[in-house]
Structure 1
Amino acid sequence: MNKLPTTPHSAHTTHNSPLSSFEFWPGWIFYTPIVIYWVLQGLRYRDFSLPTAANPRIETGGLCGESKSSILDMAGPVANQWIAPYALLKTGSNDYARAKEVLLQKSLSLPIVVKPDVGCNGTGVKLAHTENDLRAILDAFPRNTTLMLQRLIPYRHEAGIFYIRHPDQATGIISSLTFKDIPALVGDGHSTVLELLKQDPRTSLLLSIYTPRLEHRLHEVLEHGQTLDLVFTGNHCKGAIFRNGAADITPALTKRIDEIMQDIPDFHFGRVDVKFESVEELRNGEKFEIIEINGVGSEAIHIWDSRTTLKEAYKTQFFHYGETFRIGAKKRQAGWKTSGLWHGVRLWRQQKRLLASYPMND
């Protein structure tokens, strides 16, 4: 049967939750009310792209098409010490040799996480354990694609921390904390991977997510007690399981995140994805590393906890998207420009084409 990695939690126990009523609705169904809300806000503020001014130094404010590395590159000395180091490589010719050079320059070594610099929802994120892995991964990406080669953070656990600070406020808040559990199979010595997937009440409903990634192992029989992680990336749409961690938002963690985010110029709204050693250390604002920082296109992902009701999910979405308009209005008043609706649409279409060209994530 399925077993989740043990993650201590002060309010909830880790468990195999059934799906909520809306977790895997088609996007056009779930997001239609949000689009309507966005249009109404755009009419109210007379600018449909106003949220892009909430983080004005980032392309589209981080709504779409932004470079992940460009956000991290803005980090000052305080923030930089919390970010997992990375190097950049544009695919072309002699990729492996050039990758070794840039890794050496940044004092990085295998294992390495390889991910597209422009991406979304973990698409194309790969883990290279060996030199052969790295060669194959680089070859799998289209030419002229900028990749981030990031040090694999040693911590097992992952979380998404949503941060908001209005420009007229001295400090920011954490509006959402979500733990990302990586589901794993545990072998019984006689069932195949596919049979184990079908035995679990949750994964049996999501075979279309897990089986393509595991197609070469579906008929493998795991030894008794042997574990197999079903996904590497902590993304809900790729199979990770999200849990609301609001009970673990503390003044110490809020202060630490605020210190970090205020060291990124004019950053006011977005989600910080981190890996951490333990919930206790995270509550203390210690022993975590930042994977990436997402702007106004990111969500407060606790809405994908299976215990969240649809009403709660929409209330959360409307609050956060409302904040992007309110913050954007203040930044516009201070003289910052928005990206413009059609520029954002062009970047969204470009990003959509890029995502379709990336290899399957690990």
Structure 2
Amino acid sequence: MNLRLAWHKLTHWEYWPYQVVYTPIYFQYLYYALRTRSFFYFNASNPTIRNGGFFMESKKEIYDLIPEAYYPKTVLIKSGTSLEEVNDVIIKNKIEFPFITKPDIGLRGTAVKKIDTEEDLINYTSKANFDFLIQEFISYPNEIGLFYVKLPNQINGKITGIVSKEFLIIKGNGKNSIKELLLKDPRYEFQLGVLQKEYGDKLNQILPENESLNLVPYGNHCRGTKFIDFSHYITPRLEETFTQICNQINGFYYGRMDIMFDSFEKLEEGKNFQIVEINGAISEPTHIYDPNHSLLFGWKELIRHFHYLYKISKHNKKNGATYLSFKDGVSELKKHNQFYNRILKF
């Protein structure tokens, strides 16, 4: 990493390792672990999701909890499935190019790809040594992450934060290559190594003036997406709409929904949107990563949300949910680490 990028990373806390950012949360977690007498109390936060959605949860199993009208057509492909069988599934479910592929057990956007052609699909299936999903590509122009919490003893939930996602999109000037345009923005330059592997010589092409190119068509911070705090769009109407929606998702009380949608006006009405993904107990209130927010703001929001996680887990425990035992929790962590090491080789 060159000096300019190193300095940018040092002076922008959104790029710091999560182990550093989460320093105060470790103490908060230990306090709650003592109060609940469980290191894995968060398992009870979303009782219908494996481990509450903290690790090793299946995305497909979460989609199966959501009414079909609210999420894009999604199919599970088991590891080892032949290309011919994959194509049969695609045809049977009437999924057309382009579409999105992603691991059934996700890790911060690793191995998420937009598949435009049969060749892309061949490359993906030949490399994937894990179960993965094929998901219909959604063409709505906007994407947000909407954080929702609901105490089990209350009728209404609340939206605690909204993050808007500014994709890695570059605009041509008729002079510079795609690579040269990427080098003008540190946020994009961080992604250069990954993009070179994915696009190869295409990065040397010169984009015509005013032509835009979306190099990463999904909103993931570690893939160059800029997160912008849109929490000012939270309204009583929007909270009412998503309380109605989330009440239809059995056992979901805490997490962030990644949503593609047309406009906030239609979203308030519960129209013209799709839930691309739901993240459970592991969810971050990602609006904190807006570059305009301080680290102190980030800590306050993390502490606030971690307190919700604790309260919801306690309420669900009283209602019959169980905390994961220490032995089973350690076993799940080992599985998580093994899977993590495997998927990083993708």
**Given the alignment, which residue of 171, 181, 200 partners 1:196?**
181
Secondary structure of 2:132's counterpart equals strand
Secondary structure of 1:199's counterpart equals coil
Partner of 2:94: 107
Task: Decide whether aligned partners of structure 1 residues 201 and 283 sit closer, same or farther in structure 2, where only a CA change above 3 A counts.
Answer: farther
**Given the alignment, which residue of 105, 108, 114 partners 1:127?**
114
Partner of 1:338: 323
Q: Structure 1 residue 171: deviation in Å?
A: 1.2
1:49-71 Cα distance to aligned partner (Å, 9 max, x none): 11110111211100011001111
The answer (yes or no) to whether the contact 1:157–1:276 under 8 Å persists in 2 is yes
Partner of 1:48: 39
1:191-248 Cα distance to aligned partner (Å, 9 max, x none): 2222212223543466566555454433332222232223222111121111111111
Tell whether 2:303 aligns with 1:303. no
In 2, Cα distance between the equivalents of 1:260 and 1:18?
39
Tell whether 2:232 aligns with 1:247. yes
Partner of 1:6: none
The answer (yes or no) to whether the contact 1:114–1:126 under 8 Å persists in 2 is yes
Partner of 2:4: none
Normalised by the length of structure 2, the TM-score is 0.90
**Given the alignment, which residue of 19, 25, 33 partners 2:16?**
25
Amino acid at match of 2:128: F
Partner of 1:148: 133
Q: Structure 1 residue 298: deviation in Å?
A: 0.7
In 2, Cα distance between the equivalents of 1:28 and 1:18?
15
1:78-120 Cα distance to aligned partner (Å, 9 max, x none): x3211111111113152x2212222333332222211110012
Aligned counterparts, 1:202-217, within 5 A: 202-204=187-189, 207=192, 212-217=197-202
Q: Structure 1 residue 39: deviation in Å?
A: 1.0
Amino acid at match of 1:286: K
**Given the alignment, which residue of 268, 279, 285 partners 2:264?**
279
Task: Decide whether aligned partners of structure 1 residues 205 and 291 sit closer, same or farther in structure 2, where only a CA change above 3 A counts.
Answer: closer
Task: Decide whether aligned partners of structure 1 residues 230 and 112 sit closer, same or farther in structure 2, where only a CA change above 3 A counts.
Answer: closer
Normalised by the length of structure 1, the TM-score is 0.86
Aligned counterparts, 1:213-224, within 5 A: 213-224=198-209
Compare the two structures and name the one with the higher helix fraction. 2
1:29-58 Cα distance to aligned partner (Å, 9 max, x none): 112221221111111222221111011121
In 2, Cα distance between the equivalents of 1:186 and 1:231?
14
Amino acid at match of 1:118: I
**Superposition misfits of 4+ residues, deviation over 6 angstroms:** 17-20
Please list every run of 5 or more consecutive structure 1 residues that lacks an aligned counterpart in the other structure: 1-16
The answer (yes or no) to whether the contact 1:161–1:178 under 8 Å persists in 2 is yes
Amino acid at match of 2:33: G
Tell whether 2:109 aligns with 1:118. no
Most deviating of 120-129 and 352-361? 352-361
Amino acid at match of 2:325: G
Q: Structure 1 residue 21: deviation in Å?
A: 3.0
Amino acid at match of 2:279: N
Partner of 2:126: 139
Most deviating of 128-137 and 195-204? 195-204
The answer (yes or no) to whether the contact 2:150–2:157 under 8 Å persists in 1 is yes
Task: Decide whether aligned partners of structure 1 residues 73 and 93 sit closer, same or farther in structure 2, where only a CA change above 3 A counts.
Answer: closer
1:254-298 Cα distance to aligned partner (Å, 9 max, x none): 222211211121211011111111233334432110111110111
The answer (yes or no) to whether the contact 2:191–2:223 under 8 Å persists in 1 is no
Partner of 2:3: none
**Given the alignment, which residue of 153, 158, 161 partners 1:168?**
153
The answer (yes or no) to whether the contact 2:10–2:16 under 8 Å persists in 1 is no
Q: Structure 1 residue 167: deviation in Å?
A: 0.5
Amino acid at match of 2:46: N
In 1, Cα distance between the equivalents of 2:315 and 2:263?
37
